[in-house]
Chains A and B, each alone.
Chain A
Amino acid sequence: EIVLTQFPGTLSLSPGERATLSCRASQSVAGSHLAWHQQKPGQAPRLLIYGTSSRATGIPDRFSGSGSGTDFTLTISRLEPEDFAVYYCQQFGTSLTFGGGTKVEIK
């Protein structure tokens, strides 16, 4: 099973700032198999990015994904108030696994 480790655990930033979230895999992940989800309190997660860098339908272009192999990054170029949430990376290899999440909170 591929283990995904996300860091930092918590990111404290102000609206308008840039957020950089990291996801490291215990072994190489195919680029097409890495996704990012956003979850707000009391809500289901929502797909943001799939295939490492493709935005899901309706996702604004301030969200971008990059990376390869074992290291992947989600970048939010300028934080909007609605972006403060928990973000999970997800991979599919022989099984489906999620990272532990990064909470982006208002500083």
Chain B
Amino acid sequence: QVQLQESGPGLVKPSETLSLTCAVSGYSISSGYYWVWIRQPPGKGLEWIGNIYHGGSADYNPSLKSRVTISVDMSKNQFSLKLSSVTAADTAVYFCARRVYSSGYVDYWGQGTLVTVSS
């Protein structure tokens, strides 16, 4: 059974960089699939942040592209998100997930972690 678990600070100051890690178990990242970050502001819908393929090629939501970096560490079977220059609008539950390569649907989700941007 594939499992994903997010970890990282729950509170980030405005203008700083949000950093999260997703540990994957039950499947080797190096075997394939895309690895995704999605967020959900409180009481709102889901927003795709970006994804990375095991080979290291990443794609980002154009609205966030200038501030986002997603990377993968296959030795630890995990991938990471960095979002720079955060504001209160970046307060959200952040989910990591797995996306099927060709048809693109998300088949496994992490439980999510709330990140609050506040001084």
Contact = CB atoms under 8 A, between A and B. Distances in A.
Interface residues of A, number: 26
Given A44-B95, A44-B111, A96-B51, A88 B45 contact: yes
Given A88-B45, A95-B59, A97-B48, A50 B109 contact: no
A47 B106 contact: yes
Interface of B: 36, 45-48, 51, 59, 61-62, 95, 99-100, 102-112
Interface of A: 1, 30, 32-33, 35, 37, 43-47, 50-51, 56, 88, 90-93, 95-101
A92 B47 contact: no
28 contacts: A32-B102, A33-B103, A33-B104, A35-B105, A35-B106, A43-B111, A44-B110, A44-B112, A45-B46, A45-B95, A46-B109, A47-B105, A47-B106, A47-B108, A50-B100, A51-B103, A56-B107, A88-B46, A91-B104, A92-B105, A95-B48, A95-B61, A96-B51, A96-B104, A98-B45, A98-B48, A100-B45, A101-B45
